[in-house]
Amino acid sequence: MRNTLFDLPIGKTAIVQAIRAEGMTRRRMMDLGLVPGTKVEAVRLSPAGDPKAFRIRGAIIAFRQEEGTQVIVDMKEEQ
């Protein structure tokens, strides 16, 4: 089973492995610096549980679950 960006617990970091999104969503993610090899940290979760905010290259960016589950991450970084 592969972990997605939305599975990342608050306060934990991971490395982006792949982006499965297509079209404009993929383009938007890449424009925001979310490319394979990028370190991401989950920083906040909306009280409603969606969206979740992440620190990406020093910026805080929120993704809804629909978008976050399209990014595959490696959570082994801090083990």
Calculate mean pLDDT across residues 61-78: 89
Give me the chain's average pLDDT, please: 92
Residue 38 structural domain: 3-75
Q: Measure the CA dihedral 65/17/12/8, to 10°.
A: 30
**pLDDT tens profile 7-28:** 999 999 999 999 999 999 999 9
Of 39, 38, 68, 40, which Cα lies nearest the Cα of 52? 68
DSSP letter, residue 49 = S
pLDDT for the residue 47: 95
Q: Tell me the whole-structure pTM to 2 decimals.
A: 0.87
CATH number at residue 58: 2.30.30.90
For residue 10, the SS3 value is: coil
Count structural domains, the chain.
1
User: Per-residue pLDDT for 79 more than 50?
Assistant: no
User: Do 9 and 21 form a contact (C-beta atoms < 8 A)?
Assistant: no
